[in-house]
Structure 1
Amino acid sequence: MALLEVNNLEVRFGLRSGEVSALRDINFTLERGERLGIVGESGAGKSVLGFSILNLLSRPGYIAGGEILFEGRNLAAMSARELRSIRGNRISMIFQDPMMTLNPVLTIGQQMVECLRAHRKISQQDAKRIALQKLKQVYIPSPEKRFDQYPHELSGGMRQRIVIAIGLLMDPDIIIADEPTTALDVTIQAEIMDLMLELCERNNVALILITHDLGVVSQVTKQAMVMYAGRIIEQGPTREIINDAQHPYTQGLMNALPQMAIPGQRLNQIRGSMPPLQKIPAGCAFNPRCEYVMEVCRSQLPEFTSSGGCRVACHLVAKMKLEEAAAQRVEEAN
């Protein structure tokens, strides 16, 4: 049994103009200690997926179908009381902005101790000891001093380390990291990602890394999913996706990396932008932006096609695979 299994997940938002689907047909598994990257532009549905796993969606958003199985138990069907024993305990989430996560009127120590005592029946002294231990694990200098400080007294990188330490407090089985380095400079970003990788490997914690940066995904994760307009359009081993992207959208993301541009020339970019949920095109949602678009792309939703170790939802890839199979049969016949 997989640690986490998501089957046919659908998430909808009720608007005045009617309901829209934010996530459709989401399927994946996560094993203990596995590191999964979820990639895509803003509006692809990455963060909604992260929130859905912990059933943290606020109205008008709700889980309209499918199941999210954690050790065989469906999180989507749990009561609020049952979910409290999972959130922050067995599954932790690290958000984009640490200042939105940390309470500005409580010291770091008060927040960590409160979190521990909410989930475990331990004394104040034991809670402080565990909190200091976690601060040391994330290489916070002078943890005793930081324990008594307020969030505004710390730098952005330090605050993000504190948030990671809080995420590790309960020794979770899964950490969901939603753009954990967005607000940090490049040097600090690298330090934070190295830290998360080290902690996950040391503690055998599964990681779901949500990001728009394929470079980060290539360094940290073993499996990857590329999302577009609420659907998975390519998934498989990270190395295979990075080295031989199959879907035109994934190829566009790869070509948009700064290192792929010719020095002195403009950066490559995918034309157009992500469609709003109310105006997702028929057929393949990427078809208005795709340079390889065919007539079938405008009318039929593509099924997944196996290509190497990956699954790709693309009519062009399916056509190429059929042509390859036909050519091979002719060659074998001759």
Structure 2
Amino acid sequence: MSLLSVRDLTVKFAMRSQTVTALHQISFDLARGERLGIVGESGAGKSITGFALMKLLSAPGYIDSGTIQFDGTDITQAPEAQMRQIRGNRIAMVFQDPMVTLNPVLTIGQQMVETLRAHRKLSRRDAQEIALTKLREVQIAAPELRLKQYPHELSGGMRQRIIIAMALLLDPDLIIADEPTTALDVTIQADIMELLLKLCQANKVGLILITHDLGVVSQLTERTLVMYAGRIVEAGKTREIINDPQHPYTQGLINALPQQTLPGQMLKQIPGAMPVLTDIPPGCPFSPRCAFALAECRRLLPQIMQQGSSEVACHEVNRLHSDLLLEEGR
């Protein structure tokens, strides 16, 4: 049985003038210890997916339909008291900005110890020992000193390491990392990602990595979901998606990577911008930006279909695949 099984998850926001759909029938599975990447531009629905999985959507957002089966339990129906036991204890989240996550008026030690004691019957001394152990695991120098410090006294990279240590405090089965290195320097980003990978492998923890960077996904994850305008447009093994992208949007994301451009040349961009939720175009949401779009693409919404070992929602790819099958059958 999968650790996490999401089926037809739809999230809506009740605005003053209308209700908009932020996630459209998202479905995917995550095995125990598996590492999954969720990729797309800003506005694709990546972070909303993470918040929905934790049931942390704030009004006016809400889960409209679908199920989130976590270890056999549909948490969309779970009362808040049960979710408080699952959050942190079974599912942990690493947010983009550690300065928002950490309480500025409490020391690192106070925050880690109180987190442990909220979920476990531990003495303050025992909780502090566990906190020290986790800080050592994330390679924090002088952990005894760090426990006495406040967040503002630490560097950005060190704060992010502490957030990861806090995510691992209660030995969760799943970590959701939402753009965990956005505010960090490039060299520190690489260190944090390598650390996260090693910790997940060593502790057999499942990982959902939410990012806009396909380069990071290629290094850390085993499978990838590519999202656009609240929909999954391509899903499959990370290596195959990177080496042979099927959807034009995925191809555009890969072409936009800096390493795809020669020194001195302009970086390649996908023309246009992600549509806003209140003005999603008819048919394929990507069609206004797609160089391969036909009349059918602007009229009909493509359904996700199996294409080799991947799943793709694209009229053009599905048509080419059907033509190939017809030729092979001749």
**Aligning the two structures, in what range does the TM-score lie when normalised by the shorter sequence?**
over 0.9
CA drift at 1:262: 2.5
**Is 1:90 matched up with 2:129?**
no
> Which residue matches 1:6?
6
Task: State how far apart, in whole Å, the 1-side matches of 2:298 and 2:18 are.
Answer: 23
CA drift at 1:160: 0.1
Q: Secondary structure at the match of 1:28?
A: strand
> Which residue matches 2:123?
123
> Which residue matches 2:138?
138
> Which residue matches 2:263?
263
Extract unaligned runs of 5+ from structure 1: none
> Which residue matches 2:224?
224
Task: State how far apart, in whole Å, the 1-side matches of 2:317 and 2:77 are.
Answer: 37
> Which residue matches 1:111?
111
Measured against aligned partners, the alpha-carbon deviations of 1:196-216 in whole angstroms (never above 9, x if no partner) come to 000000000000000000000
> Which residue matches 1:319?
319
Q: Secondary structure at the match of 1:85?
A: helix
What are the equivalent positions in structure 2 for 1:143-222 lying under 5 Å apart? 143-222=143-222
Q: Which amino acid aligns with 1:291?
A: A
> Which residue matches 2:305?
305
CA drift at 1:304: 1.6
> Which residue matches 1:80?
80
Q: Which amino acid aligns with 1:8?
A: D
Q: Which amino acid aligns with 1:166?
A: M
> Which residue matches 2:288?
288
Matched-pair contact (CA < 8 Å) for 1:223–1:237:
yes
Measured against aligned partners, the alpha-carbon deviations of 1:135-168 in whole angstroms (never above 9, x if no partner) come to 0000000000101100000000000000000000
Q: Which amino acid aligns with 2:188?
A: I
Measured against aligned partners, the alpha-carbon deviations of 1:215-257 in whole angstroms (never above 9, x if no partner) come to 0000000000000000000000000000000000000000000
Q: Secondary structure at the match of 2:225?
A: strand
Task: State how far apart, in whole Å, the 1-side matches of 2:127 and 2:283 are.
Answer: 54
> Which residue matches 2:62?
62
Task: State how far apart, in whole Å, the 2-side matches of 1:82 and 1:89 are.
Answer: 11
Task: State how far apart, in whole Å, the 1-side matches of 2:9 and 2:275 are.
Answer: 20
**Is 1:329 matched up with 2:325?**
no
Count matched residues: 330
Task: State how far apart, in whole Å, the 2-side matches of 1:326 and 1:33 are.
Answer: 40
Q: Which amino acid aligns with 1:236?
A: G
> Which residue matches 1:33?
33
CA drift at 1:305: 2.2
TM, length-normalised to structure 1? 0.98
Extract unaligned runs of 5+ from structure 2: none
Measured against aligned partners, the alpha-carbon deviations of 1:272-327 in whole angstroms (never above 9, x if no partner) come to 00000000011100000000001110111111222221000000001000110111
CA drift at 1:263: 2.0
Q: Which amino acid aligns with 1:241?
A: I
Measured against aligned partners, the alpha-carbon deviations of 1:70-109 in whole angstroms (never above 9, x if no partner) come to 0111111111101000001100000000000000000000
Task: State how far apart, in whole Å, the 2-side matches of 1:16 and 1:279 are.
Answer: 15
> Which residue matches 2:234?
234
Matched-pair contact (CA < 8 Å) for 1:305–1:317:
no
User: What percentage of aligned pairs have identical amino acids?
Assistant: 62
Task: State how far apart, in whole Å, the 2-side matches of 1:145 and 1:262 are.
Answer: 46
Task: State how far apart, in whole Å, the 1-side matches of 2:238 and 2:94 are.
Answer: 22
Q: Which amino acid aligns with 1:210?
A: I
Task: State how far apart, in whole Å, the 2-side matches of 1:191 and 1:245 are.
Answer: 28
